[in-house]
Amino acid sequence: MKNLENNIEKILFSEYDIEKIVADLAESINADFKNQEIILVGLLKGSVVFMSDLLRKITLPCEIDFMAASSYGSGTTSNGDVKIIKDLTIDIKDKNVIIVEDIIDSGNTLSRVLNILKKKNPKNLRLCSFLSKPDRREVNDIRIDYLGTEIPDEFVVGYGLDFDEKYRNLPYIGILKREIYL
Ligand code: IMP
Ligand code: MG
């Protein structure tokens, strides 16, 4: 992965940092839903690495499902035009649902997905995101119930996050060098 790593400006969260953040998030979810069942809904593809770590720290009876929404193409900024490419396969009516995201940026993707899921009448609909870039928010009514950490307005990759579909396999989260995408 040498060539990928050369394109990283700075590591923001090491594997060790990430493990601790995920453990804290799982602990909150386990406590909030004690003696209940939950469904984790991961948004493809960015959430898969986080989802697989989080899932293994959940001690409640738990199902998983995935949705895919797209707003990006291959650039680094959202255009607000969100398409649902893959819908759920399990019924979430009257269930405790937690959406799992890698990062909330403008919030456009999430607000579209939240509206779709609300119509399916879950008992509870919560949001868990590893990262948030509050400075870039365009949709202001998004409440992140379980947030790993906030980051400044920088383009980051690794731990599932991509640039042009690459870098998802880096085990840490780093800022991508600007010359790679400018
Ligand atoms: P939003 O609709 O603008 O909130 O965009 C959310 C999606 O954009 C995330 O699920 C990511 O896939 C992607 N995204 C936003 N910021 C970054 C970043 O810094 N690195 C990689 N992907 C990002
Ligand atoms: Mg992406």
**CATH number of the domain within which 68 lies:** 3.40.50.2020
Cα separation, 118 vs 91, whole angstroms: 12
Q: Which tens digits make up the pLDDT trace of 134-161?
A: 999 999 889 999 999 999 999 999 999 9
Residue 116, domain extent: 2-181
Q: 24, 32, 91, 105: which one is catalytic?
A: 105
Domain count, the chain: 1
Question: What is the pLDDT, as a whole number, of residue 84?
Answer: 85
**What is this structure's pTM?**
0.94
Pocket flag, ligand 1, residue 129 (CB < 6 Å): no
* 105 noted as active-site residue: yes
Q: Taking residues 33-43, what's their average pLDDT?
A: 98
Q: Is 107 exposed, middle or buried (0-12, 13-18, 19+ CB in 10 A)?
A: buried
Pocket flag, ligand 1, residue 149 (CB < 6 Å): no
Give the nearest ligand 1 atom to 72 CA: 8
